[in-house]
Amino acid sequence: MSTLKLVISESQIQECVERLAKLIQADYQDQPLLVVGALNGSFIFLSDLIRHMHLPIQVDFIRISSYDQSTKSSGAIRLHHGVRTSVVGKNVLVIEDIVDSGFTAQFIREYFEDQGAATVRICSLLDKPARRRTSVTVDYIGFEVPDEFLVGYGLDYNQQYRHLRALYSLDELQIPLM
């Protein structure tokens, strides 16, 4: 059994979600917005975030991966499926669970720019700059976190722990490194 250590509480997350929603709403001020969740990790964050925003919103999802069953990003980004909604001429806000190496966020930004989006911004609940391997702009950041493997609130390890309401570090001694 893995050992979990609380890093960010449920109440801290909810305060952060409200703060980010207000910033986003102020920036878009009644402009239509396509909110795109990067599956699987962002779905809980996206759901909470859009309930605090009073904007004309469409929601879609993109499925990408770079982790597989490891605790470290492989750096190879795979697009499993793109959005079904046309992004041409739209303001796109991508919701990420965590930005660490920066490769996934960079890939997503370029993907939507190439698809003809009017604007592309990225909102990430978590930012792990100690792991950054490429320069990428994250427009809205919830928390800067240390270089620990985190689970909960949508983040997983091998499809486990997503359901937890807070964020926890997972004891790396208990994780088989791949």
Q: At a CB cut-off of 8 Å and minimum separation 6, what does 31 contact?
A: 55, 56, 91
Determine which helix (DSSP H) or strand (DSSP E) holds 36, and give its type and residue range: strand 33-39
Select which of 97, 100, 127, 156 is catalytic: 100
89/177 Cα distance (integer angstroms): 43
Q: How many CA atoms lie within 13 A of 6 on its CB side?
A: 8
Q: What is the largest CA-CA distance in the chain?
A: 49
160 DSSP 8-state letter: B
| CA separation for the pair 46, 37 (Å, rounded) | 6
Query: For this structure, is 30 an active site residue?
Result: no
Give the residue numbers marked as catalytic.
100
